[in-house]
């Protein structure tokens, strides 16, 4: 066989192998499973809830937390990037600090769940530096909005509406929003900002 025919054959074989490899990779799910520390934190959070409608039934130890209801993970990292529990009809008397271990969160939605006049933790929100959307509307939280939220510089939307027991005093409204330069939506309906002066 002539050298040019051999080279052409080698190129053809290489292309066939490459094509097979790409096709095989596309057919297999290449996403990473949930990291154990992420699953552990979410299960701690689950233990703090009364799950009236069994919406958290999929949250079970030993299963991939990226497949759990309301949970979304980064495809390559296995870290939780979204916790969307809006309207799950959950009840709790506290927000478990395990939430703040999910430091890759970009979206957090607890809207329309009942936290029974609990106070939000004073510290912890400042750890969620990737947060883009934060929704605590109609959650029945009470007390001061935490200062750590003022450090979430990537926030695009912030919603504390319909929590008439919440207020802004220290930090005041101007301090809270001073660093939130990416903020496009701010909902504070029924939040008492008059204590800010």
β partners of residue 87:
none
Domain covering 31-196 assigned CATH 3.30.930.10 in the classification: no
Q: Model confidence at 11, in pLDDT bands (50, 70, 90)?
A: low
> Could you give the CA distance from residue 193 to residue 185 in angstroms, rounded to a whole number?
17
The mean pLDDT value for 173-178 works out to 89
Whether the model clears a pTM of 0.85, i.e. scores above it, the answer is: no
Q: Is residue 155 within 8 Å of residue 140, measured between CB atoms? A: no
| Per-residue pLDDT at 14 | 53
| Percent share of the chain, pLDDT over 90 | 76
State yes or no: pLDDT of 119 exceeds 50.
yes
Interior angle at CA 191, CA 91 and CA 164, nearest 5: 50
> Could you give the CA distance from residue 97 to residue 6 in angstroms, rounded to a whole number?
65
| Per-residue pLDDT at 27 | 37
Query: Residue 56 CA to chain centroid, in angstroms?
Result: 16
> Could you give the CA distance from residue 60 to residue 44 in angstroms, rounded to a whole number?
11
DSSP code, position 153: T
Domain boundaries, the chain: 1-30, 31-196
| Per-residue pLDDT at 29 | 47
Q: Is residue 129 within 8 Å of residue 151, measured between CB atoms? A: yes
Least confident piece of the model among 13-17, 151-155, 184-188: 13-17
């Amino acid at each position: 066989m002539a050298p040019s025919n051999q080279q052409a054959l080698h190129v053809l074989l290489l292309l066939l192998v490459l094509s097979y490899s790409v096709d095989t990779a596309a057919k297999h799910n290449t996403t990473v499973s949930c990291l154990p520390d992420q699953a552990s934190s979410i299960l701690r959070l689950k233990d703090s809830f009364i799950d009236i409608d069994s919406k958290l039934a999929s949250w079970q130890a030993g299963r991939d937390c990226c497949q759990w209801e309301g949970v979304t993970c980064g495809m390559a990292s296995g870290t939780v990037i979204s916790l969307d529990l809006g309207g799950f009809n959950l009840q709790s008397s506290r927000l478990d600090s395990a939430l703040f271990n999910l430091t890759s969160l970009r979206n957090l939605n607890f809207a329309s769940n009942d936290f029974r006049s609990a106070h939000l933790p004073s510290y912890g929100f400042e750890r969620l530096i990737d947060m883009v959307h934060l929704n605590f509307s109609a959650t029945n939280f009470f007390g001061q909005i935490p200062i750590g939220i003022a450090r979430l510089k990537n926030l695009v939307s912030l919603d504390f509406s319909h929590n008439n027991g919440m207020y802004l005093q220290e930090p005041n409204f101007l301090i809270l929003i001073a660093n939130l330069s990416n903020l496009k939506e701010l909902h504070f309906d029924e939040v008492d900002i008059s204590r800010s002066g």
